[in-house]
Structure 1
Amino acid sequence: MFLLAVAFLAAAHQIGFTDMPRLSKGLSNMVVLVYELFPPSPAAIPSALEALAETVQMAFVGTVIGFFLSLPAATLALRTIFPPYITTVVRALLGLVRTIPALFWAVIFVIAVGLGPLAGTLALSVYSLGYLSKLYYEAFEAVDQDVLDALRCTGAPRLAIVRYGIIPESMNTIISQLLFMLEYNIRSSTVLGFVGAGGVGLLMVSYIETLQYSSLTTVVAMTLVLVILIDFVSGYVRRRFLPAVRVVKLKR
């Protein structure tokens, strides 16, 4: 315990956490910032609505593209259908894609295609591909083997087993995880604008750079309302139509 306390104090000193004059000045600056954040500026509402619409479009298109790519990728990763030399390679590639955060994918695509929502959409597509593929192949492998064996007895090929056995048995999970991925991407796409990938984050950056803090408050408040609304709608749909499905939460 003593060593842990020493390590904590050493680390805190190293990062400047024990610099009391600096912390005191920072607290004073925070008071000034909070004063400048209010009241919110109504003039920023039109720009905020446009940016939020772009954010939702990015998340929607990116999620849909990632979804359609993840289904064949998850199928190729099935150990119950394909041999190990295929599933091992596919899972390794999906693991690599999943390891890279959406923000870094956004940086890559900003370099590749330039600033704007296209880069953000591509980043969310790849990010969705990585996570949905893992969630789906785990759900597919949990399907009752009796169903698959019955199809094999009829001489059904691999893709037919997936189409008529695995997909129907996993449909609730597929839809539920898709809804959560859309919800997650809307939240995460608000950050992508900070690296130039479009959406409401780009508008926030412009207000920060020009010191328009009251306009920033308007954008943040409207973004919060959007996220709460999306959470409510997504949760309602899952509870109402998919009550038996457990949604796997992603680490943020």
Structure 2
Amino acid sequence: MQVNAMEKKRIQSVVMLIVLLAFTYGAMVITQYNVVEGFVSIPKAFVWGITSFYPTASSFENLPGILMQLGRTVLTSVAATTIAAVFALFFSLFGSKVTKVNNVLSVVSRGTATVFRNIDVAAWALILLFSFGQSALTGYFALFFVSFGFLTRAFIETLDEVGASSIEALRATGASYPAIIIQAILPSSTPQMMSWILFMVEMNIRSATLVGILTGTGIGFEFDLYYKSLDYNTASLVVISIVVVILALEYASNYVRRVVL
């Protein structure tokens, strides 16, 4: 029996591999992608990056403007994440199996989180362009909706992990629903929730660059402007600034998780 099960699993793996290779080959044929040319172009792209895509002394004259736009992008990402976290907390309380009020609200909360989470931030930006145009508000709402969906789902899973024993003990003493949330749920789940919020801030700063290109705002627009004007030296300075800020924020968030949480 065990030999037959292992043989069946091996056959299934081979079949899945064949199907994957077939899909890959079909995609290459449809898109007319040449694998050899793709690999040959990698060294050429690397050489071009070394010889053309680097900051110069003249490009540093634009650094104050770059840092100002980068600061706006970071603040927008933080604002979108924190406000989304507040809304996500309320929806997660209704959606969690531990804290749900009734099954209808639980299904609605989980369904809302799924819809908002599975629509990509670029798609949200394109959808919102029709309503708000190319403005900072478009980028803010795009980041807000994605953050809301992701954090609601993450908070629901966090609340579901909370032990039911303390909740049942408070219910046995006649504690009200708000008292149970404040005294049992939030103290035990807050550290994990804070960790998710910090993670979402990092993700939003990365996504804000793409959103800025689509909405014509922030550091993404700054990069797009220099790149399309063939000012590759300043464009590279924008990229380096983004990388430095992301690494610094990641280090700071890891420090907070390790020391504070």
Unaligned 5+ runs, structure 2: 1-13
Is residue 153 from structure 1 mapped to residue 198 from structure 2 by the alignment? no
Deviations 1:220-251 (CA, angstroms, capped at 9, x unpaired)? 01111001100111101111122xxxxxxxxx
Structure 1 position 56 matched with structure 2 position 74: yes
Change (3 A) 1:16 1:84: same
Q: Which moved more, 1:112-121 or 1:62-71?
A: 112-121
Match of 1:202 in 2: 221
Corresponding residue SS for 2:28: helix
Structure 1 residues 183 and 6: alpha-carbon distance in aligned structure 2, compared to 1, 3 A threshold: closer
TM-score (norm 1): 0.86
| Helix, strand or coil at the partner of 2:230 | coil
Does structure 2 conserve the Cα–Cα contact (< 8 Å) formed by 1:118 and 1:197?
Answer: no
User: Is residue 75 from structure 1 mapped to residue 97 from structure 2 by the alignment?
Assistant: no
Take 1:146 and 1:153, find their aligned partners in 2: how far apart are those partners?
A: 11
Kindly indicate whether residue 53 of structure 2 is the aligned counterpart of residue 37 of structure 1: yes
Is residue 191 of structure 2 the alignment partner of residue 177 of structure 1?
A: no
- Counterpart selection for 2:119 from 92, 97, 100: 100
Deviations, residues 186-226 of structure 1 (Å, cap 9, x unaligned): 12212211211522111111112211111100100111100
- Residue from 142, 145, 158 that aligns with 1:123: 142
Q: C-alpha distance in 1, partners of 2:202/2:114? A: 22
Q: Is the 8 A contact 1:38 1:217 kept in 2?
A: yes
1:134 to 149, 153, 157: 153
Aligned to 1:228: 247
Question: In the alignment, what sits opposite 1:249?
Answer: none
TM-score by length of 2: 0.83
Which structure has the larger Rg? 2
Provide, for residues 23-68 of structure 1, a one-character-per-residue CA deviation record: whole Å limited to 9, x for no partner. Answer: 8689757745653323442122122101101111111110111011
Count of equivalent residues = 242
Write the distance in 1 (CA, Å) between the matches of 2:134 and 2:23.
43
CA 197–158 in structure 1, closer or farther in 2 if over 3 Å, else same:
farther
Q: Which residue of 1 aligns with 2:5?
A: none
2:9 is matched with: none
Q: CA deviation at 1:22?
A: 8.7
Quick check: 229-238 or 36-45, which moved more? Answer: 36-45
- Higher alpha-carbon deviation: 164-173 or 225-234: 164-173
Which of 62, 66, 90 matches 2:84?
Answer: 66
